[in-house]
Chain A
């Protein structure tokens, strides 16, 4: 908690350069708090369970959550503009169902992946267009999108469809060795690649800066002549695309398609983004923070797995508590810097 108290100036007079630097730094405070929390949890875990402190336990956090990382990336874009995307979990399930069914019918894996990306991106684009041109709240539009995608899953099949195709099973089993007897899955590299691209886009392109500007003040962004409409639409298309990628990654991970899969995953993604320090009102936050947010969620699960006596529902309870704490912290923090 210390970064919060030391970084917020209490008296606001003429800003000195030093204070400005502090205020600039204060933007990172929520994200830094999350990083601190993650390190603390890892340290506590290492103290309680001797085998916790290992590189592979850390890497497994990535391996087990590749899909969530990718979802959180897309969600970060959306939330930065001040919007929300509730459809991502259902789109993940739809992507899995489409892949599993078509693989069973002997389609080529590459063609399926392209098709799934088109479906996810297209669905996102459609929702973006509706949000923009009919001026409807993102909450409602993406809620409708969620029901649509989930409904399509049931139409495809009510049963779990196993995936036995070579490329998918290959990806599921592949291990990329790292020095020190460690390994990651190919999916981790893909997810981290997407994170790197997202970071570049957000901080080094005009599109990315427009995303932040819209979250800061949409009306101003419009009056400044920024392409507000197209950016807002694109953000939902990106989130849809990320959901499709996450669906493919989840297929690699679970080697099946099931219409009830990824229930509530959209809420995990939103939780990760918020715990990672992105304000739900938009305009402030970092994609790297969202990745740390996912890792925090992952480490909570690891804890429960190590403990062995606790029911897995404790994961949800802990995540709920963390979310509440972080939102309260942000609120406090926003009040002090104002």
Chain B
């Protein structure tokens, strides 16, 4: 069989980072091909090379046997390659039908044939079993899941030979994933070559026929999914032997803070809430303790974090820090009380992409010291080197730009940025989302380590297993209120699920 896409000996570099080096990749019609690797392995870079967003430094790309050099996304699309990105790249201000056909609207005598647009959109949506979507409705009125399917509808419309799905499931629930997979299988059976990138191993094993594994910008190999075990895949992605993996897999040693009577909790809230956001939050976090917030997506976990950090103002209940009643009106107040907040959205709220790793860290140090006292360069260098090493930031180059780092490494820098300010309470909102297993385990270990050193940690994650693994106590959030506070002694995922399903016991 002839591959639709064949990339040979691809190399791409950015200042300070060698993103891809000698990578080969091929994609056959009628198959789902998973591109696997840890964060920073070069998956996104490879995709962007194929879609004309980045230009390649060396190597060749052929599509259906023809040599291609894509300099713009338009050129890549003209060659039949269509991409659906994690953050849906459509126009929210336009209607569904306009988004599906933008740039390719049927025309009659130079004028867009709106009736034709409507009927063509109906056809395409029907093919994807999306009949219930009104073509004339605004894109922004639909959920992310539907928007993603509409983006796929757009590539179906151009009869794409190659469909690239970059982390398509990261914001979907189980039903939505099933609907997406049905569409993917449908397209595969019609001979479309599908490139699928995801961090969810189970989904990859569920949907893919073949996989290519990358590590540190280099090719590890290409395998048939059925021939590669999960452990085998993980060891290829991480590049460590099985024994090392087993050790990584072990739950990090948990430091159990005794919540003896007499010890004052660092943070204590009573009936904390905000109209239209969350209510009845009775939370206490002791020094040296990890408290996990468990709950479904949208249950109100982030909202609680924002209340505590002062990003939103509470309008009911009370809060005490080290036993003294406090009213936190702004993040500034929270920071002064030594509270840190690693937000869930690292791009929007956390890091400054155009600055280097060093600058991002120094920014935080300087902010905590006050602008008047300059930190000597030597101290800066020492501290930055120390944190890069402690958190294993890769590449270990303090001058690499943040935006050129992978998600997991960006997360580490964000974490380091808070750590340099020595907070007493650190709120971590989804610190491991979208990052690979290796980095995830590292971050979990780090959390336990920090707690052992006496820091209080509020840990938020959608992955219950992870919450159970790192937390000493678990606060269960359901329907925008706190419903239970469980000591984590032999608690299982099922136990927490029961609480979430049944409400307070």
Contacts and interface: CB of A to CB of B under 8 A. Distances in A.
B137 A20 contact: yes
B103 A217 contact: no
Given A209-B98, A227-B74, A23 B137 contact: yes
Q: Which of A27, A213, A337 gathers the greatest number of chain B CB atoms within 10 Å? A: A213
Contacts of A223: 51, 53, 73, 83, 85, 89
A180 interface: no
Nearest to B112: A204
Q: Which of A15, A203, A215, A222 gathers the greatest number of chain B CB atoms within 10 Å? A: A15
- Classify chain A: how many residues form its interface, as a range: 20 to 34
Contacts of A24: 95, 136-138
Interface of A is mostly: helix
B102 interface: yes
B93 A20 contact: no
Nearest to A203: B112
Contacts of B112: 203-206, 209
A205 B103 contact: no
A214 B142 CA distance: 20
Interface in A197-226: 200, 203-206, 209-210, 212-213, 215-217, 219-226
Contact of B90 (A19, A27, A200, A220): A220
Contacts of B94: 209, 212-213, 216
Interface in B114-158: 114, 134, 136-138, 140-142, 154
Contact of B134 (A20, A200, A217): A20
A212 B111 CA distance: 16
Contact of A216 (B92, B110, B114): B92
Given A217-B89, A220-B89, A224-B89, A209 B95 contact: no
Given A20-B141, A217-B89, A220-B90, A225 B134 contact: no
Contacts of A204: 111-112, 114
Contacts of B137: 15, 17, 20, 23-24
A212 B93 contact: yes
A213 B89 CA distance: 11
Contacts of B83: 223
Nearest to B89: A220
A20 B136 contact: yes
A15 B92 contact: no
Contacts of A203: 112
Contact of B91 (A23, A206, A217, A227): A217
Interface in A119-137: none
A226 B103 contact: yes
B91 A213 contact: yes
A284 B110 CA distance: 23
B471 interface: no
Q: Which of A21, A220, A221 gathers the greatest number of chain B CB atoms within 10 Å? A: A220
A145 interface: no
Contacts of B134: 17, 20
Nearest to A27: B138
Contacts of B73: 222-225
B78 interface: yes
A205 B53 CA distance: 26
B119 to A, nearest CB: 17
B134 to A, nearest CB: 5
B186 to A, nearest CB: 23
B290 to A, nearest CB: 35
A227 B83 CA distance: 17
A283 interface: yes
Interface string B100-115: 0011010100111010
Interface string A51-87: 0000000000000000000000000000000000000
Interface string A281-306: 00110000000000000000000000
Contacts of B76: 225
Contacts of B111: 200, 204-205
A12 to B, nearest CB: 9
Contacts, number: 95
A229 to B, nearest CB: 9
Interface string B75-93: 0111000010100011111
Contacts of A220: 89-91
B93 A284 contact: yes
B131 to A, nearest CB: 12
Contacts of B85: 223
A15 B103 CA distance: 27
Q: Which of B103, B107, B110, B154 gathers the greatest number of chain A CB atoms within 10 Å? A: B103
A93 B78 CA distance: 45
Nearest to A338: B140
A204 B107 CA distance: 9
B138 A209 contact: no
Interface string A214-250: 0111011111111100000000000000000000000
Interface string B166-179: 00000000000000
B168 to A, nearest CB: 15
Contacts of A206: 103, 105, 107, 112
Contacts of B141: 15, 19-20, 23
Nearest to B139: A216
A226 B91 CA distance: 12
Contacts of A210: 102-103
A338 B107 CA distance: 32
B142 A221 contact: no
B91 A15 contact: no
A213 B91 CA distance: 6
A24 B94 CA distance: 10
Given A205-B110, A222-B73, A224-B89, A15 B142 contact: yes
Nearest to A224: B102
Given A206-B103, A215-B93, A219-B89, A225 B74 contact: yes
A266 to B, nearest CB: 25
A221 B76 CA distance: 14
Contacts of A225: 72-74, 76-78, 103
Nearest to A16: B134
A209 B114 CA distance: 12
A216 B105 contact: no
Interface in A81-114: none
Contacts of A283: 91, 93
Interface of B: 51, 53, 72-74, 76-78, 83, 85, 89-95, 98, 102-103, 105, 107, 110-112, 114, 134, 136-138, 140-142, 154
Task: Give me the 9 closest cross-chain CB pairs, A-B, nearest first.
Answer: A216-B91, A225-B74, A216-B93, A20-B137, A283-B93, A220-B89, A225-B77, A204-B111, A223-B89
Given A17-B134, A203-B112, A209-B102, 12 more contacts: A206-B105, A209-B94, A212-B91, A212-B98, A216-B93, A217-B90, A224-B90, A224-B91, A225-B74, A225-B78, A283-B91, A338-B140
9 contacts: A20-B141, A206-B107, A210-B103, A215-B93, A216-B93, A220-B90, A225-B76, A225-B77, A338-B140
